[in-house]
Amino acid sequence: MALGAGVARAASDPITYVTRVTGEMSEELRGFLEGVSQSRQFQDREVASLSVLRRRLAEDETRLLKALRSKGFYGAAVVGSMAADGVPNQAILMVEAGPVYLIEDVVIERTGAPRDPTVEVALADIGLEMGMPAEASRLKAAEEALLDIARRSGYPAPAIAEARYVVDHDRTTLTSRILLDPGAPATFGVLTVEGLEAVRERYVRVLADWRVGRSYDPRVLKDLKRRISDTSLFSTIIVETPGMPDSAGRLPVTLRLEERDRRTVGLGLRVTSGDDFLSANASWQHRNYLGGGESLKAETTLSSLEQKAALGFRKPHFIKRGQTFVASTVARHEDSDAFEESSLAASIGLERQAGEIYTTNVGLAAELASISDSEDDSYFALVGMPVGLTRDSRDTPLDATTGTLFSARATPWASLSESSSGFVVAELSGAVYQKLGSPRIVAAARARIGSILAGDLRDVPANKRFYAGGGSSIRGYEFRRVGPLDSDGDPTGGRAVAEIGAEIRFLVTETIGVVPFIDCGQVYKTTLPGFDEDLQWAAGLGLRYITPIGPIRLDVAFPLDRRAGIDDRFQFYVSIGQAF
């Protein structure tokens, strides 16, 4: 009687209902099926009649069966029913999932000569193993992996000729036979470059390192596009190949390029609570100065403590591929509590890529400087040979979320004046970045240790000594204020330094982040850090505003080892980019 009343209402009134997925199953599977069910997704909308709801349930039976089989439940059953004796009506999907079927056997064959009927592919290479759940997504992914292996083996147009999957309901297992048609093998043909204007084609071909006759491999094309993109010279990069190789089995490649603007201007601003309250910098760069990807960059920095002008030049693939010639000159004046300096420095060197994340460098440097500190006025003429190794696996330099950065540098300096007898500056630094379960939470940590080998601190010019404190060092202490001080409370610098910092970056919204942090470190007059001395600690909280050019940073830090009459109660820093 009640059901009949429900039908009578359906003829004239809209129907409200709720959908329940019932049966014995895990909550994870239940949630998955509820997401697949359209009657469940649209249950907040009225339907015109019970017959419409019945059709929706019938469609859900098919939809849920397909979803269950995709998860390996090949013996599952789904029955839809309604209880129309209440308000709202009950739409019920009764599920008998049964056991998950397991992969019992996989046979991979290929079309072609009878003497070569199989493809030498391990099941692990395509993501399968005996006894694993026979999920449809895994089986489909295995087919795609098999095609990728064929492409990387020199076949540009492979296809799955047949994929047969047989279910044994008594054994609750699945066996499969995959027949691969690799198609015709191919080698790379000639490379054609189109769209160049100011960039020389010879430079692009050096980047491409193209060899006609190399066996076809899509990774070669992907690597070609990456190397061209890394130059930052092009706004559009398209790599095209015809569908099939020519009669000789060659696959020609066309590289279509569109150049971007070669000149850029940059402006920057940094604000702190220290003596160097406001610092502004400007830069101009030409990224293709001579047509071969050469970079010419002019920079200037102005603040109450420092005035600097620099000119830098980089020529990629100098003499050999992967080697860069670098040259720079810097004119600088600084008047800080630590020292007053007027200097002119120049350097040349070579950088060499070793793989994707390693860079080595070696060079020659020269510097003339007039330096005054609390003890005397000195003139220095130095020549040095900087060498270094960098390992950088960060996902992005300005706001890394994964990866590491490691740097080792050493520079032996020889003095051409009587103010110094020569010394060696060595420094190790590193940083690590790791997501903590969520992409919105990143842990970051850094460390720095350095040593100067010299007979005495006075043999080392004040501008070459180690200092600590400031927005990119130990936050909470004024610029260079950590470590030994003279009788006037001014920093003297040291021959050794040790720093550690850590922070947790919480992205609260898409554009706003909160960053609690802690830093510590010390500067030492001795050649090696004396860890028996107390470290100076600081802690604070930062805000980040995420922009397309990088995060805007505001950090407020408090010295935990505040020295009376020396350290302020807090320091703040505003700049672009993370602290490290």
CA atoms within 13 A on the CB side of 378: 20
SS3 of 45-107: CCECCHHHHHHHHHHHHHHHHHHHHHCCCCCCEEEEEEECCCCCEEEEEEEECCCCCEEEEEE
Q: Supply φ then ψ for residue 95, to 5 degrees.
A: -115, 130
What is the pLDDT, as a whole number, of residue 259? 95
SS3 of 140-185: HHHHHHHHHHHHHCCCCCCEEEEEEEEEECCCCEEEEEEEEECCCC
Taking the C-alpha atoms of residue 169 and residue 380, their distance in angstroms, rounded to an integer, is 87
Number of residues in the chain? 580
Taking the C-alpha atoms of residue 336 and residue 467, their distance in angstroms, rounded to an integer, is 13
Taking the C-alpha atoms of residue 297 and residue 480, their distance in angstroms, rounded to an integer, is 28
- Give me the tens of pLDDT residue by residue for the chain, a chain 580 residues long: 333 333 444 444 677 888 889 999 999 999 999 999 988 888 888 888 888 888 888 999 999 999 999 999 999 999 988 876 666 788 889 999 999 999 999 988 888 754 444 446 788 889 888 999 999 889 999 999 999 999 998 999 899 999 999 999 999 999 999 999 988 899 999 999 999 999 999 999 999 999 999 999 999 999 999 999 989 999 999 999 987 888 888 999 999 999 999 999 998 888 888 777 789 999 999 999 999 999 999 999 999 889 999 999 999 999 988 899 999 999 999 998 889 999 999 999 999 988 889 999 999 999 999 999 877 888 999 999 999 999 999 998 889 999 999 999 999 999 988 777 889 999 999 999 999 988 899 999 999 999 999 888 888 999 999 999 999 999 999 999 999 998 888 999 999 999 999 999 999 999 999 999 999 999 999 999 987 778 999 999 999 999 988 899 999 999 998 998 899 999 999 998 899 9
* 8 Å CB contact between 454 and 460: yes
Q: How far is CA 538 from CA 13, 430, 431, in A?
A: 69, 20, 18
CA end-to-end distance (rounded Å), the chain: 74
22's enclosing H/E stretch is: strand 17-22
**Angle at CA 510, nearest 5°, toward 508 and 516?**
35
Tokens 């900087």 belong to 386
- By DSSP bridging, strand 571-576 and strand 340-354 are unpaired
Partners of residue 17 on adjacent β-strands: 89
Residue-wise pLDDT for 360-397, tens only, equals 999 999 999 999 987 788 899 999 999 999 999 999 88
For residue 25, the SS3 value is coil
What is the pLDDT, as a whole number, of residue 202? 93
E-only strand ranges, 437-509: 438-453, 496-507
E-only strand ranges, 275-402: 278-286, 295-303, 306-315, 323-335, 340-354, 358-372, 377-384, 387-392
Taking the C-alpha atoms of residue 451 and residue 495, their distance in angstroms, rounded to an integer, is 6
- Which among 521, 516, 547 has a CA at the least distance from the CA of 533? 521
224's enclosing H/E stretch is: helix 218-230
- Which among 450, 442, 471 has a CA at the least distance from the CA of 538? 471
What is the pLDDT, as a whole number, of residue 269? 87
Tokens 């190949």 belong to 241
Taking the C-alpha atoms of residue 456 and residue 474, their distance in angstroms, rounded to an integer, is 26
Q: How far is CA 549 from CA 232, 261, 411, 532, 546, in A?
A: 15, 17, 33, 43, 8
Tell me the domains of the chain and their CATH numbers: 2-96 (3.10.20.310), 102-181 (3.10.20.310), 187-259 (3.10.20.310), 263-576 (2.40.160.50)
* 8 Å CB contact between 366 and 458: no
Written as six digits, the tokens of 292 are: 């071969």
Written as six digits, the tokens of 164 are: 């047969």
Residue-wise pLDDT for 3-37, tens only, equals 333 344 444 467 788 888 999 999 999 999 999 99
For residue 220, the SS3 value is helix
Sheet holding 102-110, edge to edge: 102-110, 173-181, 159-168
**Amino acid in the structure at residue 203:** Y
What is the pLDDT, as a whole number, of residue 51? 83
